[in-house]
Amino acid sequence: MLENVNLKRKLSTEEYNRILPALQLRLYDLEKVCWDLKIRTIFVFEGWDAAGKGSSIATLTQRLDPRGFKLHSMTLPRTFEKSRPWLWRFWLRVPDQGEMAIFDQSWYIRVLQERVEARVPENDWRAAYSDIVDFERMLADDGVTIVKFFLHISRKEQEKRFRKIEDDPLESWRVTKEDWGRHKNYHAYLAAVEDMLELTDTAEGPWTIVEASSRRWTKVKVLNTIIAALENRLGAEAPSREASEEAAASDEDLRMAMESLSPSMENSDA
């Protein structure tokens, strides 16, 4: 599956700066309506280390009302969490009425990192596929809209990004020995990702594979996918696009802020 992904997709700085304000304001308008109608949504971000999950989430939330979403950055389970059913800690983070829950890594840790690093027995991670499908189906049956992303980059691109981060004395702490260990096991993780995508792509929780070699392309695709999912969920209740576009056109402060961002951030495509 992933071998057929076109990792050469890019977006120019000019085009990115032109369309981003409208996308962010459109998302803000949709967030308000979801809040009013008590519609719950979950956005799952999985992907390779350094693929841009954090920066994509930052762009996603930049213009949202912070009262309407919660961000959950998930890691391997702690000791006391291991004494509970493995999905327990994720059930605790299911969004309340009208909320958006954003997961920077999620329950898929079980079939990715825990699988590849042999942190759980094989029977456990194999059983997790059906657990996950059932979990997401129950959420969907309860009215939750689920959007899942896998941000894909090549092994060569990942190494390039690691090296670039390490060369910056203020950012080098971000690349750890564990990151390099997962990079070394890229192909084992690749096999785990392929299984994950094949076995957990459902109507209730479809996967969107994001070509993440270009950070600008990545962010725009993420926002467009979320907007389409929310518009589909809201149907006739969705606010008109014309109102969002008019607001974006008059939002000069946002446009100036985007243009003033340092090249290492929005204008960087590495």
Could you tell me the CATH number of the domain that includes residue 111? 3.40.50.300
Inside any domain, residue 82: yes
The answer to the question of residue 204 being in a domain is yes
- The conformation of residue 146, written as its DSSP 8-state character, comes to E
pLDDT at 62: 96
Pairwise CA distance, residues 69 & 84, whole Å: 26
Question: What is the extent of the structural domain holding 216?
Answer: 2-243
Q: What is the pLDDT of residue 216?
A: 97
Contact 49, 179 (CB under 8 A): yes
What pLDDT, on a 0 to 100 scale, did the predictor assign at position 226? Answer: 98
Residue 123 belongs to a domain: yes
Q: Report pLDDT for 145.
A: 98
248 found inside a domain: no
Residue 260 lies in a domain: no
Show the CA angle centred on residue 4, arms to residues 208 and 51, nearest 5°. Answer: 55
The residue written with tokens 């840790």 in the block is 109
- Going residue by residue through the chain, which has 270 residues, state the pLDDT in tens, using 9 for 90 and above: 898 999 999 999 999 999 999 999 999 999 999 999 999 999 999 999 999 999 999 999 999 999 999 999 999 999 999 999 999 999 999 999 999 999 999 999 999 999 999 999 999 999 999 999 999 999 999 999 999 999 999 999 999 999 999 999 999 999 999 999 999 999 999 999 999 999 999 999 999 999 999 999 999 999 999 999 999 999 999 998 876 666 666 665 655 665 565 455 455 676
Q: Please check whether residue 267 lies inside any domain of the structure.
A: no
Burial 193-221 (b: 16+ CB within 10 A, else e): bebbbeebeeeebebbbbbbbbbbbbbbb
Any domain includes 258: no
Q: How many domains is the chain partitioned into structurally?
A: 1
Give a yes or no: residue 75 inside a domain: yes
> How many Å separate Cα 103 from the centre of its chain?
7
